[in-house]
Amino acid sequence: MVDFRLDKEYEELRDSVRQFAREQVAPVIAEHYEKKTFPYEVIRQMGAMGLFGLPFPEEHGGMGGDYFALCLVLEELARVDSSVAITLEAAVSLGAMPIYRFGTDAQRTQWLPRLTSGEALAAFGLTEPGAGSDASGTLTRAVLDESRGEWVINGTKAFITNSGTDITCLVNVMAVTGTNPDGSKELSTIIVPSGTPGFTVAPGYSKVGWCASDTHELSFDDVRVPAANLLGERGRGYAQFLRILDEGRIAIAALSVGLAQGCVDESVTYAKNRTAFGHAISDYQAVKFLIADMDLRAHTARLGYYDAAARMLAGDDFKRYAAIAKLNASNAAMENSRWATQVHGGYGFMNESAVGRFYRDAKILEVGEGTSEVQRMLIARGLGL
């Protein structure tokens, strides 16, 4: 029997985060968004709730939960604000998860307790000014100075989330460390602690959306870190990242569903209270149908990420289903934000309105952690095409 209803523990977690988002995030996030400031007080509260440690074992300071629990939390946060949601997603999926999955015991002991508690944040440095979806275009290089037992890193990274906050402690950096026998680039991942000499964080970007999240360009000028900072096997950096990215697509799908559902929530409330020609606009069939279609998109997208997460947790091959979930959910977020703005009229075009922020935040969901075109490639590949 197929049952999409949540277990009691999942329901309780979802409900507690929903209440937190409405009572603690919603009242303050508009000001952070407008001023483009990072919501440290909200992040501290999320850390106290254990949200940064959800999918990690208790021995590493985690909550002993699973990846689906993280996805439920991301959905509920994004129903109110995506900047907070992406901060959590990137900190867990891209920052802490690579260390948990591929790190040595010493690396896990050194870094995970601070990351899983939310005391500190970590980032993943993959994208470069000339290399995004095509990681083979990576130019950042790391040379092993065997005489000193150190990696020497030079290069630039772009659009790196959580890389420049006051509590950022490290960046996992993808770099070229040699040449494979077939002539291709050998890619490896190296942990670079914040504050390492030669590691420079540029001023934050001026972004269309996610204005209360932290995003920077990074430069590495003869940055030296111990050889022991190699994360996982040398030459396996890209393969490791692909595994992390497959999981992350489910998380981004959940975040996208949250935004899509937030558009429904805001539109229902507004339509019931806004009057035109003597009636609430919810009385008009055109508005009813717009919102019904929005709910349809959010619900079906939710089922998609539920399915992908279930396959992942069961140990099945989930790559194609993660791509389907991410593609469908990001489309739903983009469409719903468009029509929620339409329902709200002029009010929806104001930055202080929730749907105005949703509209600005939605587009990046079709780009980050694999563009929509990349998702279609993965789906087709999964079908043997």
Chain segment 15-57, per-residue pLDDT in tens = 999 999 999 999 999 999 999 999 999 999 999 999 999 999 9
Would you kindly state where each structural domain of the chain is located, as residue ranges?
8-121, 122-235, 239-382
Q: Do domains 122-235 and 239-382 have the same CATH topology?
A: no
DSSP state of 202: P
- Return the CATH number of the domain spanning residue range 122-235: 2.40.110.10
- Sequence letter at residue 31: E
Q: How far apart are CA 236 and CA 248, in angstroms?
A: 18
How far is the C-alpha of 32 from the C-alpha of 147, rounded, in Å? Answer: 48
Residues 254-285: pLDDT tens digits?
999 999 999 999 999 999 999 999 999 999 99
**Residue ranges of the alpha helices (H) in 274-385?**
285-313, 319-344, 354-362, 372-382
Q: Tell me if residue 369 is catalytic.
A: yes
Alpha carbon distance 173, 220 (integer Å): 10
**Candidate CATH numbers 3.30.499.10, 3.50.50.60, 1.20.140.10, 3.40.50.1820; the one for domain 239-382:** 1.20.140.10
Q: pLDDT of 194-222, one tens digit each?
A: 999 999 999 999 999 999 999 999 999 99
Quick one: tokens of 226? 């111990």
Residue-level pLDDT at 356: 96
Confidence label for 2 from pLDDT (cuts 50, 70 and 90): low
Active-site hit among 75, 150, 217, 369:
369
Tokens of 374: 């990349």
Q: What is the pLDDT of residue 44?
A: 97
| CATH 1.10.540.10 describes domain 8-121 | yes
**What CA–CA distance (Å, rounded) separates 379 from 283?**
41
